[in-house]
């Protein structure tokens, strides 16, 4: 017996509760679609008021059904839904799809009602999709458990694209756009309010389907963080690109998302970084999402980044070169001698790359062939692109042009071939049948080729493999700086040699042992922001200065934070030089423990130049994380400065991520600010540490 979740997509029998004889109504459409598509399973309409529905015998209730269906589609008002779910549960129905809105998205009352749906289903071992969703479909089986109007005029072809969407309308829209682009769909699921099945579980299912070569996803947020990350990593390891539309990136969008399907709003920047971490392409627009999915649906990726451009119009060639470079690809020039050969062939040509063969190549296809062949044999291009204009739309010229290209490219089947053209869709399909990617717009082509190259990079990486860390026993209550450092030292984080001194004399002694100059800082679990109460004195050069500063700091702490438990002062050496960075751990409401890193000072405050990763991650991932910082060059050394010990910083980030993951329940946040990255080979030192623990 298959899993109840899988049965949602391939039921042997389906009950339609609230079935309508009117094929245009929500309770009528699924029946109409199932019949039009020739679904082979048993379809069981439930309608107490009718003998037949759209020609099929109807049943008065779920209890009256002649068999227990694999799935029940509930096309009922919100008020009638709970009872239907209870009846399904009582009957042993394995899964149910709930279309109706009017649950958690409407406020506390709806939320309570939705919680009862969930509880009823869970108690019975029944899976729920929705409420407030458009259902599922599986074109290969002709199974359409949806009332989406996009099927009004035309069904969907089976194909390589899996679609997972929280929003029903969005999921339907991209299915429609994919169909218009000639792309078939493997399976389609919309999760709506996610009373049970969420987008993370649906993604996990989708990426594992053998027919699915690429997944288009839409989400405003994610409920099950671990399952979500598992889905992304599984897709990466299976070399299945995910093209993601994540909304709610603006403040007003996030507010709307929170009130929509009642999804939690985390930080959009964190979500963005985590998608990057797992090699997912985040689309900025729906058009981009379709363009990239279209390119990825072939399951083929360029072996390298070198792209050749063949054009018969200089302007378009320049535009495509700009766009390809912006997409991170390499518009590498032809070798000098090959350029000379091209000029012998075509004296007016620009032979470098873009190879502009001018209008002469239009009129003489032998010239075009020779030109393209030279490009591919001599240019070493991983992708071939050509700008064909209206040629492929011409009745007399279309076939000879396509055949000339095919002949010229013979022997280079390993490279990606992508074209732009202004031609009717039938002409485009003929090129596609011959293995070409076809775009109307060069920018879309370039952007999509770039996405393919980045997918390849992500797929080529070994899995991030941070060594697991045994959880440490966490102390009770808040931690002082000394307490935080003692804990993090066990995770391998390096701090300066420093002493906790209860009073001025002990501080002087500690300073003497460390050597001058020193820093003296108040040490208390109850004082998180030391500078604000005057609790820090730097660059103390002798015993007298230490004695006086310590006395003053202790006095100020007692005066300004009267209830605080004072452990004493930390006496630490001044650490000169290095590049200042800040490192932290936060618990994102959606994506859980994440590590943040950025350059210190104005870079963080003015430019918000920070980056994130979901914990835990290994050292190579930490390096990729750091390279996302705009001011990364500062770590590599500018103005003749020595390069900083980036390796040590990457190790610190990975170690901190392992600590954060091991203590995800107990640790709310960590600040290491500042951290000094010393010159290469000399390591990294966190000067301060603050840990916020979960209140007991």
The Cα angle at residue 67 between residues 65 and 71, in degrees rounded to 5? 90
**Smallest Cα–Cα separation from 233: which of 298, 198, 296, 277?**
277
User: Measured from the CB of residue 357, what is the shortest distance to its own copies in angstroms?
Assistant: 12
Q: Which is nearer to its own copies, 321 or 527 (CB)?
A: 321
Q: Give 227's contacts (C-beta < 8 A, 6+ positions apart).
A: 198, 200, 201, 204
CB of 58 to its own copies, least distance (A): 24
Assess contact for 392 and 381: CB atoms under 8 A.
no
Q: How far is the CB of 320 from its own copies (least distance, A)?
A: 8
User: Do 527 and 535 touch, CB atoms closer than 8 A?
Assistant: yes
CB of 362 to its own copies, least distance (A): 10
- CA–CA–CA angle 530, 536, 542 (5° rounding): 160
Q: Give the shortest CB-668-to-its own copies separation in angstroms.
A: 26
**Please, what is the minimum distance in Å from the beta carbon of residue 136 to its own copies?**
17
> Other CB atoms closer than 10 Å to residue 348's CB: what's the count?
10
Beta carbon of residue 566, minimum distance to its own copies (angstroms, whole number): 27
Name the residue among 157, 93, 163, 113 with its Cα closest to residue 134. Answer: 163
Closer to its own copies by Cβ: residue 220 or 688: 220
Query: From the CB of 454, what's the least distance to its own copies, in Å?
Result: 18
Locate all alpha helices (DSSP H) within 561-601, ordered by sequence: none
Q: Closest CB to its own copies among 235 and 599?
A: 599
List, in sequence order, every residue forming a beta bridge with 15; answer none if it has no partner.
44, 72
Cβ atoms of residues 131 and 30 within 8 Å: no
Q: How far apart are the first and last CA of the chain?
A: 45
Whichever of 466 and 631 has its CB closer to its own copies, that residue is: 631
- Alpha helix (H) residue ranges in 410-563: 425-433, 442-460, 481-489, 504-514, 543-560
DSSP string for 40-54: -SEEEEE-TT-SEET
For 288, phi then psi, to 5°, come to -65, -40
Minimal distance, residue 514 CB to its own copies, in Å: 29
Nearer to its own copies, 42 or 378 (CB): 378
Return d(Cα 565, Cα 555) in angstroms, integer: 13
- How buried is residue 526: exposed, middle or buried, by Cβ count under 10 Å (0-12/13-18/19+)? middle
Cβ-based burial of 153 (10 A; exposed 0-12, middle 13-18, buried ≥19): exposed
Least Å distance between CB 400 and its own copies? 15
By beta-carbon proximity to its own copies, the closer residue of 324 and 376 is 324
Nearer to its own copies, 59 or 271 (CB): 271
Nearer to its own copies, 103 or 617 (CB): 103
Shortest distance, CB of residue 629 to its own copies, whole angstroms?
Answer: 10
Q: How far is the CB of 581 from its own copies (least distance, A)?
A: 14
Structure tokens, 190: 């919309």
> How buried is residue 84: exposed, middle or buried, by Cβ count under 10 Å (0-12/13-18/19+)?
buried
Residue 593 C-beta: closest distance to its own copies, Å = 26
> Is the Cβ of residue 629 or residue 686 nearer to its own copies in the bound state?
629
Q: Which of 155, 221, 149 is nearest to 185 (CA)?
A: 155
Q: How far apart are CA 454 and CA 302, in angstroms?
A: 10
Q: Strand ranges (DSSP E) for 146-267?
A: 161-165, 185-190, 214-219, 242-246
Q: Which residue, 293 or 458, is less far from its own copies as judged by CB?
A: 293
* Cα–Cα distance, 438 to 425 (Å, whole number): 10
Three-state helix/strand/coil letters over 11-31: CCEEEEECCCCCCCCCCCHHH
The angle at the Cα of 396, spanning 391 to 397, to the nearest 5 degrees, equals 35
Q: Which is nearer to its own copies, 640 or 696 (CB)?
A: 640
Task: Tell me whether residue 287 or residue 303 sits nearer to its own copies (CB atom).
Answer: 287
Cβ nearer to its own copies, comparing 441 with 457: 441
């Amino acid at each position: 017996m298959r899993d109840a979740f899988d049965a949602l997509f391939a039921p042997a029998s389906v009950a339609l509760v609230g079935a309508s004889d009117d094929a245009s109504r929500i309770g009528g459409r699924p029946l109409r679609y199932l019949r039009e598509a020739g679904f082979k399973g048993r379809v069981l309409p439930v309608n107490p008021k009718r003998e037949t529905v759209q020609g099929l015998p109807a049943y008065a209730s779920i209890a009256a059904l002649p068999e227990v269906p694999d799935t029940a589609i509930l096309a009922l008002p919100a008020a009638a839904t709970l009872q239907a779910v209870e009846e399904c549960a009582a009957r042993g129905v394995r899964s149910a799809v709930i279309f109706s809105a009017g649950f958690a998205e409407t406020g506390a009352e709806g939320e309570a009602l939705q919680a009862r749906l969930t509880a009823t289903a869970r108690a019975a071992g029944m899976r729920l999709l929705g409420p407030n969703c458009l259902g599922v479909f599986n074109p290969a089986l002709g199974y359409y458990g949806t009332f989406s109007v996009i099927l009004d005029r035309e069904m969907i072809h089976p194909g390589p694209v899996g679609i997972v969407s929280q929003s029903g309308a969005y999921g339907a829209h991209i299915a429609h756009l994919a169909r218009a682009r000639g792309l078939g769909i493997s399976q389609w699921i919309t999760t709506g309010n996610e009373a049970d099945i969420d987008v993370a579980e649906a993604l996990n299912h989708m990426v594992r389907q053998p027919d699915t070569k690429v997944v288009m996803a839409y989400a405003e947020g994610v409920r099950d963080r671990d399952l979500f990350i598992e889905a992304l990593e599984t897709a990466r390891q299976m070399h299945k690109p995910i093209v993601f539309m994540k909304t709610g990136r603006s403040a007003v969008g996030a507010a709307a998302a929170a009130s929509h399907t009642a999804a939690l709003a985390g930080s959009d920047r964190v979500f963005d970084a985590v998608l990057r971490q797992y090699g997912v392409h985040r689309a900025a627009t729906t058009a981009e999402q379709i363009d990239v999915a279209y390119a990825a649906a072939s399951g083929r990726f360029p072996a390298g980044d070198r792209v050749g451009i063949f054009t018969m119009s200089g302007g378009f060639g320049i535009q495509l070169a700009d766009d390809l470079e912006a997409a991170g690809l390499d518009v590498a020039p032809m070798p000098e001698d090959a350029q000379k050969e091209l000029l012998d062939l075509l004296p007016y040509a620009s032979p470098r790359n873009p190879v502009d063969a001018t209008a002469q190549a239009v009129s003489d296809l032998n010239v075009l062939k020779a030109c393209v062949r030279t490009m591919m044999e001599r240019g070493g291009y991983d992708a071939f692109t050509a700008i064909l204009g209206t040629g492929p739309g011409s009745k007399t010229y279309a076939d000879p042009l396509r055949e000339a290209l095919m002949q010229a490219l013979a022997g280079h089947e390993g490279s990606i071939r992508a074209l732009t053209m202004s031609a009717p869709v039938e002409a485009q399909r003929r090129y596609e049948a011959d293995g070409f990617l076809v775009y109307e717009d060069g920018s879309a082509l370039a952007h999509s080729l770039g996405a393919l190259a980045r997918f390849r990079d992500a797929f080529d990486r070994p899995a991030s493999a941070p060594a697991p860390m045994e959880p440490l026993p966490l102390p009770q209550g808040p931690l002082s700086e000394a307490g935080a450092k003692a804990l993090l030292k066990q995770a391998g984080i390096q701090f300066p040699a420093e002493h906790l001194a209860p009073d001025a004399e002990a501080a002087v002694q500690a300073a003497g042992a460390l050597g001058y100059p020193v820093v003296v800082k108040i040490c208390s679990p109850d004082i998180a922001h030391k500078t604000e109460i005057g609790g820090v004195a730097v660059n103390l050069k002798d015993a007298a200065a230490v004695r006086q500063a310590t006395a003053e700091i202790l006095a100020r702490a007692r005066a300004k934070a009267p209830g605080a438990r004072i452990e004493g002062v930390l006496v630490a050496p001044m650490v000169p030089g290095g590049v200042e960075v800040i490192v932290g751990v936060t618990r994102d409401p959606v994506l859980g423990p994440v590590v943040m890193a950025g350059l210190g000072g104005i870079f963080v405050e003015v430019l918000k130049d920070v980056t994130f990763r979901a914990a835990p991650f290994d050292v190579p991932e930490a390096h990729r994380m750091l390279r996302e910082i705009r001011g990364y060059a500062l770590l590599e050394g500018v103005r003749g400065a020595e390069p900083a010990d980036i390796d040590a910083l990457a190790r610190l980030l990975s170690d901190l991520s392992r600590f954060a993951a091991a203590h995800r329940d107990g640790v709310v946040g960590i600040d290491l600010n500042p951290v000094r990255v010393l010159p290469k080979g000399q390591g990294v030192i966190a000067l301060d540490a603050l840990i916020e623990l979960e209140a007991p």
